A and B are shown apart, each in its own frame.
Chain A
Amino acid sequence: MDEDTISVSKGVFIFNNNIKRSNNRGRRKRTFTTNKTTDDNEIFASNLWYQQYANLKNILEENIMELNDNMFSSVLSELVQFVGSSRKSAVEEIPTAALLTGINMPDHAAQFSTLINKIQQNETPHVACLYSQDCVNIKNMIENMINKLMNSEGETIDDEDEDHRTIKKHQMNLSVLQCWYNNVYGEKKIMSSPKKQRTNIHQKALVVIIPDFESFTSSVLQKFILIVSCYIKVLPFVFIFGIATSLNTLHTSLSYQIMSKINIRVFKSQPSIVYLDNVLENAFFDTNFPFHLGGNIFNLFIDLFLFYDLSVNNFITNVKYAMAEHFCFGNAMSLCTLSKPQTREMVENFTHNDFENVRQLLSFRKLVESETYENRIKLLTDDDYFKDVLIKHLRSIQKYLRRFHLFLKVLHVLVNDLPKAPLGKKIRELYAVAVSRDITKSDEYKESFQLLGFLSKVELISKLSAIIDILSPKLTSVEQNKIAEFVNKLEQYLKSMNDFNMEELQDAVEEIETEALADETIDSRQQFREKLLGMAKQKSAKQLNKYEQLRKEVLDLLSNAFEEYLVEPKSFYLHEIFFFDDVSIQNNIVGTHRTAIHNALNDPQYYLQCSCCEIPNSTSIRHTMPDICIAYKLHLECGKMINLYDWLQAFLSIVDPSDADEESDRYVKPELQARFTQIVTELEYLGFIKNSKRKADHVARLTWGG
Chain B
Amino acid sequence: MIQKAAEVAKTPHAVRKKTKSKIEQILQEDSTSEYEISSEESSFDSDTSSSIESEDEPQPKGNQKIKITNTNLQTPRTRGRGRYTIKTEEYFENCASSKIQTSNNTLDKLQTPKLPQHEVQQLLQNSKLSKEHEKCIEQLTKINESYFKKWLFLLNENFNILLYGLGSKRNIIKKFHMEYLKDMPVIVVNGFFPALTIKNILDSIIVDLLKMNESPSNPTEACNLIIEEFQAMPETHLYLLIHNIEGDMLRNTKAQNALAMLASVRNIHLLASIDHINAPLIWDHIRLSKFNYIWFDVTCFSPYVEETSFEKSMMIAQTGALALSSLRNVFLSLTSNSKSIYLVIVKHQLEHGKNQFYQGISFKDLYMACRESFVVSSDLALRAQLTEFIDHKMVKLKRSVDGTEYLIIPLASNLLQKLLDENS
Contact = CB atoms under 8 A, between A and B. Distances in A.
A575 to B, nearest CB: 18
Contacts of A365: 22-23, 26
Given A330-B74, A674-B123, A592 B84 contact: yes
B231 A599 contact: no
Contact of A675 (B27, B127, B156, B166): B127
A304 to B, nearest CB: 12
B195 interface: yes
Interface string B175-193: 0011001111111111101
Interface stretch (B232-240, B327-335, B407-415, B416-424): B232-240
A11 B297 CA distance: 25
A600 B35 contact: no
Contact of A606 (B82, B109, B133, B153): B82
Interface string B269-280: 000001111111
B313 A639 contact: no
B301 A626 contact: yes
A600 B299 contact: yes
A134 interface: yes
Contacts of B213: none
A697 B185 CA distance: 47
A643 B104 CA distance: 8
A106 to B, nearest CB: 4
Interface in A501-532: none
B190 to A, nearest CB: 4
A648 B112 CA distance: 13
A6 B277 CA distance: 23
A589 B124 contact: no
A43 B111 contact: no
Given A588-B294, A685-B275, A639 B133 contact: no
B136 interface: yes
B102 A643 contact: yes
Nearest to A38: B266
Given A311-B285, A607-B79, A609-B136, A5 B174 contact: yes
Contact of A14 (B82, B114, B208): B208
A697 B108 CA distance: 9
Given A6-B306, A368-B23, A11 B105 contact: no
Interface in A309-360: 309, 311, 313-314, 317, 320-321, 324, 328-331, 351-353, 356-357, 359-360
A260 interface: no
Interface string B218-262: 001000000001011111111000000000010000000100000
A1 interface: yes
A331 B70 CA distance: 8
Given A596-B297, A626-B129, A16 B196 contact: no
A47 B133 contact: no
A2 B178 CA distance: 10
Contacts of B80: 584
Contacts of B37: 380
B11 interface: yes
A608 B136 contact: yes
A677 B316 contact: yes
Nearest to B221: A134
Interface stretch (A230-238, A475-483, A688-696): A688-696
A41 B157 contact: yes
Nearest to A612: B132
A682 B286 CA distance: 31
Contacts of B170: 5
Interface string A404-442: 000000000000000000000000000000000000000
A680 interface: yes
Contacts of B353: none
A586 B296 CA distance: 11
B107 A644 contact: yes
A375 to B, nearest CB: 12
Contact of A600 (B114, B165, B177): B165
Contacts of B97: 639
B187 A40 contact: no
Interface stretch (A71-79, A247-255, A556-564, A660-668): A660-668
Q: Chain A, interface size: which category?
A: 35 or more
Given A42-B67, A681-B315, A18 B84 contact: no
Interface string B351-391: 00000000000000000000000000000000000000000
A37 B265 CA distance: 11
Q: Chain B, interface size: which category?
A: 35 or more
Contact of B315 (A373, A381, A677): A677
Contact of A324 (B70, B159, B274, B301): B159
> Taking each of B6, B87, B140, B313, which has the highest tally of chain A beta carbons within 10 Å of its own beta carbon?
B313
A307 interface: no
A610 interface: yes
B4 interface: no
Contacts of A6: 190, 306
B289 A317 contact: yes
A34 to B, nearest CB: 10
Given A645-B106, A678-B124, A19 B166 contact: no
A674 B118 CA distance: 10
Interface in A366-406: 368-369, 373, 376-377, 380-381
A470 interface: no
Contact of B187 (A15, A32, A610, A691): A15
Interface string A4-17: 01101011111111
Given A14-B208, A687-B278, A598 B27 contact: no
A611 B132 contact: yes
A45 B157 CA distance: 12
Contacts of B305: 678
B323 interface: no
A668 B111 contact: yes
Contacts of B139: 609
Contacts of B293: 591
Interface stretch (B88-96, B342-350, B392-400): B88-96
7 contacts: A46-B67, A356-B38, A373-B30, A606-B82, A608-B136, A624-B133, A628-B303
Given A37-B267, A686-B277, 16 more contacts: A5-B188, A16-B209, A18-B185, A360-B19, A368-B26, A381-B38, A588-B296, A606-B82, A665-B109, A675-B124, A677-B114, A681-B313, A682-B308, A686-B276, A703-B277, A706-B87
Q: Which 6 A-B pairs have the closest CB atoms?
A: A330-B72, A11-B193, A591-B295, A705-B90, A674-B123, A106-B289
Interface of A: 1-2, 5-6, 8, 10-22, 24-25, 30, 32, 36-37, 40-47, 49, 105-106, 133-134, 309, 311, 313-314, 317, 320-321, 324, 328-331, 351-353, 356-357, 359-360, 365, 368-369, 373, 376-377, 380-381, 584, 586-601, 604, 606-612, 624, 626, 628, 638-646, 648, 665-668, 670-671, 673-678, 680-682, 684-688, 691, 695-699, 703-706
